[in-house]
Amino acid sequence: ADNCMLRASALTYTTLLSIVPLLALMFSLLKGFGAQNVLEPFLLNNLGIGSQDAVAEIFRYIENTQFGRLGAIGLIVLVLTVLALLSNIEKSFNHIWRVQETRTLMRRFADYFSVVLLSPLLILAAVSISTSLQSQTLVLKLLETAYVGEALLLLFKLIPFVVMWAAFIFLYLFMPNTRVRVQAALVGGVVGGTMWQLLQWGYVYFQVGVGKYNAIYGTMAALPIFIVWLYLSWMIVLFGVELTYAVQNIGTMRQEFGADKVNFACRQRLALTILMLTGESFYRGEKAWSRERIGEDLKLPPRVVSELLDDMVRLNLMAVLCDEGGERLRYQPGRALDALTVQDLFQELREDGASYPQNFRLPTREFVGELEVKIQQAEQGVLGALMVQDLVLRRVAAKGKEEGQG
């Protein structure tokens, strides 16, 4: 679904181009913490199982990287390469979440820098705690105890899983440019992290045909294995995103399967309803509506809400706002509702898209044109004088009566 296989291929290619600059940037930022001495063995043992030669070669390149010799242009290219990878990850996640907007350039720099800095710090903390615990005298004595020792050994074996769960959860919460619930990210992170660890074991125990690759590729045999591992890893990451999305939108998943079949009459009705809801909040002086709130209130799948709102923004029927912190997008009417008739709204939605004027020269166009004029005249007679504001004010008045009676 969502072209995940194609996107995993693109991310694999981008990762191959960006992995050396990304790790070099991470290690240079955390060199003062002695991160490389801890992270390099961890990454060698956990990344690229079955292709340690390729990963070790990457680390040799990183160790030889001298930032002083890169110059300003070289450093900018290195940073842009890392940003390109993280931007592609965000776009892939946003596509699954049906989000069109990406972060602003300044937010990308700030947020992506946080990822580059925090990710190795979390791994460093987890590895350091694990190593420290295993060397404690009390822990060594407890390991000799029958049941407690077995429980501790199980705990130590679970540490790699916990680290990957935390990494996946952080990724699923942070990377999409939308609000992700913690519960949904927990499910996706635990399943994705577990599958990723199982992939590592699979590379150890089920490396079928590796000997044949050695015969064909020789010293380059580690490269295709590493590429396959990268591709499968991205497939697992994107599967986790799909699962997170499904868990968060479990109530509308059945409607999601029919989201591509939304008819035009339904789009007109939904557009008018959204204008009324957001217009009512605007007149009451309340906070503008978010995509999530619109979807929850109208019981609509995110894909339908996103596509319709994007069309309405493009037609200047809706305006996009940001929260105080600039974190979430909100929507309010993009025009004065006392100057927008229902007929104008429907006409703009109907005429959105390509038109073929050459059809007007066809002989049958004359008969169709007459019918079209009659339909427009009938619609104008019924809806031409009805302002969207009138509907909003009726709703506000009806709600006021209900609140007064309550």
Q: Which CATH architecture has domain 259-405?
A: Orthogonal Bundle (1.10)
**Percent helix / strand / coil, the chain, rounded to 5:** 80, 5, 20
Q: How confident is the model at residue 321, as a pLDDT? A: 85
Q: What are the residue ranges of CATH 1.10.10.10 in the chain? A: 259-405
- The pairs formed by 397-403 with CB atoms below 8 angstroms and a separation of 24 or more are 399/280
How much is the pTM? 0.73
Higher per-residue pLDDT: 373 or 129: 373
Q: What is the mean pLDDT of residues 261-275?
A: 88
Contact by Cβ (8 Å): 119, 167: yes
Taking the C-alpha atoms of residue 185 and residue 167, their distance in angstroms, rounded to an integer, is: 11
Q: What is the pLDDT of residues 178-202, one digit of tens each?
A: 888 999 999 999 999 999 888 877 7
Pairwise CA distance, residues 170 & 189, whole Å:
8
Query: What local confidence, expressed as pLDDT, does residue 188 receive?
Result: 95
CB atoms within 10 A of CB 132: 10
Percent of the chain residues past pLDDT 70, beyond the cut: 67
* Helix H or strand E segment including 332: strand 329-333
